[in-house]
Amino acid sequence: ETITQTDFVLLDYFDLSRRGINWPGLMGFGGLVTTTVGIFALVQRRVHPKWRRRDYILVLLLTLSMPISILFKSPFFKIPYTMPAIGLLVGNFYGSTMGVTVVVLLTGLVTFSMEVTGEQVLANVAGGLLGALMAGRMRSREELAVLGVGVGLTQGVVSLIINLIISATASTIWYAVLPGALLFALSGLAWSIVALGLSPYLERLFDLVTPIRLAELSNPNRPLLKRLATEAPGTFQHTLFVASLAEAAAQELHCNVELVRAGTLYHDIGKMHDPLGFIENQMGGPNKHDQINDPFKSAEIIKKHVTEGLVMARKHQLPKAVRDFIPEHQGKLLISYFYFQAQQKAQLEGTGSVDESYFRYDGPIPQSQETGVVMLADACEAALRSLKEVTPETALTVVNKILKARWQDNQLVDSGLTRQDLSKIAQVFIRVWQQYNHQRIAYPKGALNCQSSPK
């Protein structure tokens, strides 16, 4: 619309024609942005202190989608606000605390810097908060889809309530506000569908591990796990028992149980490169290492299951958080059996000392409580399986000895585990062992031979 001379006079009269920079307003907005960034950084460092650069980039892109959608809104889509999608995605990727923080801070920025109505702000923040609070608790895409419906309904109900309150003073017929409420509900549902569709792509692009993705990776029908069960059945059974121990310990320590389960299931996939090189797959047959009769070659086979496991994990695009369990569950442990065998052989042949580093895994040592727990569970699994007719006290002594050895070998210094944690872990391991090793009632001999009497 063309501005006439009369329009200019009116603008001047109301002091609206100034073309200079509004420095007080600009400084106020700058202060608001600085405060918002400061609060976000404070919460993020407390909740997720090990964020990567890609995590900051993802959250920045998601938050920028809100003002961009408002600025470039289409006349055919009256409610372009992406808050429901932002709440769902941030809550799903980083947990409810970060999700709520982003929604609240973004709401404050948008409210004070852009032209939005109270109804738009309240309805969208209600949908965003619901998504942020609940998304991290979802364990399947189906549950996330149901949550999206809930987000849409929440926005519609909030819009309806606000309009009914306003309409009570305007003497407007109540059903006149239904179309607007329905539009808000459909908007929330639409953005939830967008979030649901983007979620798996963002997870892979930004290498994220959500409860939903971890649950999918833990499905025994995944290709790698099916191969492990077929090609290395002994290792697969070992893995399942280690997972039971590690999950129970992770739950006791309030660690990420889903991550521990997924990481444990894949921690020994590298043994598929040479299944018979590991005793659990020999099934009572000849020991391959007796035939090799070279501790150096045997140690190389044992160590190779880590490097081969990493190759398989990358090939099947496992997230880094899951891949980390493959090297870290072994840390820099000494392959003691073949090391001592090499020492004995060197003494007999008079070839001098043996380099211990050749018989140690390459590391790194566990960098988180989750990988530390799996290292301990992996170490205790064989010992606990071999204990049959012993008391829980004796089993606890064996477990504590193993955990103490890992501690004294400095394998846990970067894991965040404490001595108190080790005590809790030992108690949990014994509890799980007792569940697997419970006594069964012995049937009388006559009961085994009896036949069902004819009627």
pLDDT at 320: 95
Angle between helices 83-94 and 178-205 (to 10 degrees): 40
> Is residue 455 included in any domain, yes or no?
no
Mean pLDDT value of segment 15-35: 71
Same domain, 178 and 302: no
Rounded Cα gap, residues 332 and 271, in angstroms: 18
pLDDT at 20: 61
Tokens of 18: 């100034």
Same domain, 222 and 181: no
pLDDT at 399: 95
Same domain, 196 and 229: no
Distances (CA, A) of 14 to 18, 23, 28, 286: 10, 19, 23, 96
Total residue length of the chain:
455
> Is residue 445 included in any domain, yes or no?
no
Mean pLDDT value of segment 416-433: 95
> Is residue 57 included in any domain, yes or no?
yes
Q: What is the DSSP letter of 443?
A: P
pLDDT digits (tens, 9 = 90+) for 242-285: 999 999 999 999 999 999 999 999 999 999 999 999 989 988 88
Helix (H, G, I), strand (E, B) or coil at 242: helix
Asked if residue 22 has pLDDT above 70, the reply is no
> Is residue 293 included in any domain, yes or no?
yes
- The neighbouring-strand residues paired with 251 are none
Q: Which of 206, 228, 262 is the last residue of a domain?
A: 206
Same domain, 371 and 243: yes
Residue 298 pLDDT grade (very low, low, confident, very high; cuts 50, 70, 90):
very high
pLDDT at 108: 87
CATH number assigned to the domain comprising residue 93: 1.10.1760.20
Helix (H) or strand (E) holding 398: helix 392-408
Helix (H, G, I), strand (E, B) or coil at 134: helix
> Is residue 451 included in any domain, yes or no?
no
Is 59 buried (19+), middle (13-18) or exposed (0-12) by CB count in 10 A? buried
Mean pLDDT value of segment 414-437: 93
Q: Number of structural domains, the chain?
A: 2
Asked if residue 78 has pLDDT above 50, the reply is no
Same domain, 202 and 306: no
Asked if residue 359 has pLDDT above 80, the reply is yes
Same domain, 175 and 276: no
Q: Cα–chain-centroid distance for residue 198?
A: 17
- Per the CB < 8 A criterion, the answer to whether 243 and 432 are in contact is no
Provide the percentage of residues in the chain whose pLDDT is more than 90.
Answer: 57
Same domain, 326 and 425: yes
Q: Which of 206, 229, 253 is the last residue of a domain?
A: 206
The two counts, helices (H) then strands (E), for the chain are 21, 0
Q: What are phi and psi of 360, to 5 degrees?
A: -110, 145
**Cα Dmax for the chain:** 113
Same domain, 262 and 367: yes
pLDDT digits (tens, 9 = 90+) for 307-316: 999 999 999 9
Tokens of 47: 């909740």
Burial 168-196 (b: 16+ CB within 10 A, else e): eeeeeeeeebeebbebbbebbbbbbbbbb
Residue with tokens 């499905």: 219
Closest CA to 36 of 66, 72, 71: 66
Rounded Cα gap, residues 133 and 373, in angstroms: 28
Same domain, 118 and 173: yes
Same domain, 40 and 155: yes
pLDDT at 174: 62
Across the chain, mean pLDDT equals 86
Domain region containing 78: 5-206
pLDDT at 128: 92
Distances (CA, A) of 323 to 305, 326, 342, 344: 13, 6, 31, 36
Q: Which of 152, 179, 206 is the last residue of a domain?
A: 206
Same domain, 202 and 216: no
pLDDT digits (tens, 9 = 90+) for 113-153: 777 777 888 888 999 999 999 988 888 888 888 999 999 99
Closest CA to 189 of 116, 130, 111: 130
Same domain, 134 and 218: no
Residue 3 pLDDT grade (very low, low, confident, very high; cuts 50, 70, 90):
low
Higher per-residue confidence, 218 vs 72:
218
End-to-end CA distance of the chain: 100
pTM for the structure as a whole: 0.83
Rounded Cα gap, residues 401 and 46, in angstroms: 35
> Is residue 395 included in any domain, yes or no?
yes
Mean pLDDT value of segment 363-386: 93
Tokens of 255: 């660690």
Residue 347 pLDDT grade (very low, low, confident, very high; cuts 50, 70, 90):
confident
Asked if residue 454 has pLDDT above 50, the reply is no
CATH number assigned to the domain comprising residue 235: 1.10.3210
pLDDT at 165: 79
Comparing 14-18, 102-106, 290-294, 442-446, the range with the smallest average pLDDT is 442-446
Tokens of 205: 């692009």
> Is residue 448 included in any domain, yes or no?
no
Q: Cα–chain-centroid distance for residue 152?
A: 26
pLDDT at 72: 66
Residues 6+ apart with CB under 8 A from 336: 359
Encoded amino acid at 452, one letter: S
- Per the CB < 8 A criterion, the answer to whether 257 and 290 are in contact is no
Mean pLDDT value of segment 178-198: 88
> Is residue 443 included in any domain, yes or no?
no
- The neighbouring-strand residues paired with 334 are 360
pLDDT at 436: 83
Mean pLDDT value of segment 106-114: 82
Rounded Cα gap, residues 220 and 265, in angstroms: 9
